[in-house]
Amino acid sequence: MAEDPEGLFLDWELESSISSELKREKQLSAPQRRYYNLCRRKSFAAFVASKRDSSRQEGTFWCCCSQTFMDHSAIHKHVARMHHSEIQQLMTATYERLLKRIEEDSEGQQLMELKVQSVDISAWIPETGHIPEQQLHLGPGKVLLYYHYCHVEDPNVICSWQKALCEKLHLTGKVRVATEGINGTVGGTDVATQLYIEAMCSHPVFRLDKEDFKTSDGGAKCFTDLRVGVYKEIVPMGVDPAVLSYQLAGAHLEPEEFHKEVEALVAKGSVTPSESDTVLLDCRNFYESKIGQFTQCLAPNIRKFSYFPDYVDQNLDLFRDKKVLMYCTGGIRCERASAYLISKEVCKDVYQLKGGIHKYLERFPDGFYRGKLFVFDERFSISSNDDVISGCRYCHCPWDQYEVCSTRFCCQLVLSCPSCRQEGHTGCCPTCQSKGRGSEHTLSRREECECTSGRPRIPQDV
């Protein structure tokens, strides 16, 4: 007879427990099995973590059942063999709590959907029965750019209305809705975009003015689809609107006023921002200012607007006791950016260009803004003057027409002239260019290129 029958009994109990657990798991649906396995892993990890000996200053040790374990595999094997029933109890409790939370979230979502359905949005959608259907999806078109900060009581209702409105008018584009307002850029026919403007101007929450819309030639083809959603911010800066409100933004300057300010700055001659008492600040990303910018501006080498707060924090001396003139594409980024800069209490004055570059170019097409205006759609840019301020990535000849990097999984933009593209130079950098020559299985799904790794995330311009 074996000397240690308890081990056999332990194995038998463990096998029985695992068998019943497997039977239960097989009865679950696919989503439930995923939750079940997640809870099992978390419960096991939590139990192991509870056995860690924190009294030791050097190394990692676990103490369990009067034994000390010095590596993960040993403690994992011990827990799996000796504490299966405890893990099972912990997992069951965790799983039940998770299911309850999912059920509560589902009920909340259903209530939200019922609330949205109970609101009659049809009154906010224009009647189009008298308009030939072709006029809504064929013919000359426009791209609209707009934003409006205001309190939105129920963003989900507005989101539902925007989806229905855009679909009825055959519009494509992107619309962000939040409790702080709405931000959108949509494309469609001349008739459809005009109806959209009228609907936005008559809506009781927004009551926009036609002057709030920036228009350019384009249409529905400028976007691949329609995306409407509810977000925390209508422009993603990464700072909670409850902490930094748009109501703290800098004073608006009409294009004529802004033009005079820039004119005065340029008249002083070419000086660095640190030498001047005025800073002309471009609030856009580096790839936008690369192909077009105001004369004598400070253009931060940042990749995302969410990096702007960190840029300000690391370059406060640039703005200390200065008058700051800010600008962006349509004005929305300046609302939050100016509020953030003002909150630092280092500037003498902070102003922003009302309506952004779009409105400035309508008034001064050949003014102090030179080059192209970058836009976030399939066109990539629009122009009002013939200046080319950027060059080809490879031969450095004047060139300012972006294309997406040809390497799979890379979303960077590249300036490559027709001659260089014909020679196969279609990658955004040497790393992507070499990847593009490799076989498909060698390509990484992770975006890694010199465009991102070689640039400081937050540049210091002080």
Contact 333, 376 (CB under 8 A): no
Q: How many CB atoms lie within 10 A of CB 248?
A: 14
Per DSSP, helices labelled H in 326-378 are: 332-343, 356-363
DSSP one-letter string for 2-55: -S-HHHHHHHHHHHHHHHHHHHHHHTS-HHHHHHHHHHHHHHHHHHHHHTB-TT
Structure tokens at 459: 């540049």
Q: How many CB atoms lie within 10 A of CB 32?
A: 14
- Pairing between β-strand 323-327 and β-strand 349-353 as defined by DSSP bridges: parallel
Contact 357, 381 (CB under 8 A): no
**Distance separating alpha carbons of residues 393 and 391, to the nearest angstrom:** 6
Positive or negative, the Cα torsion across 267, 272, 276, 280?
positive
Question: Which strand (E) or helix (H) includes residue 86?
Answer: helix 84-118
Q: What are phi and psi of 175, to 5 degrees?
A: -135, 125
Check 64, 166, 283, 328 and give the catalytic one.
328
Q: Which residues of 344-359 are buried (b: 16+ CB within 10 A; e: fewer)?
A: eebbeebbbbbbbbbb
3-class secondary-structure state, position 69 = strand
- Pairing between β-strand 369-374 and β-strand 323-327 as defined by DSSP bridges: unpaired
Q: How many CB atoms lie within 10 A of CB 325?
A: 25
Q: What are phi and psi of 24, to 5 degrees?
A: -65, -40
Of 121, 108, 198, residue with least CA distance to 157: 121
**Distance separating alpha carbons of residues 264 and 269, to the nearest angstrom:** 9
432 is catalytic: no
Q: What are phi and psi of 43, to 5 degrees?
A: -65, -40
Residues catalogued as catalytic: 328
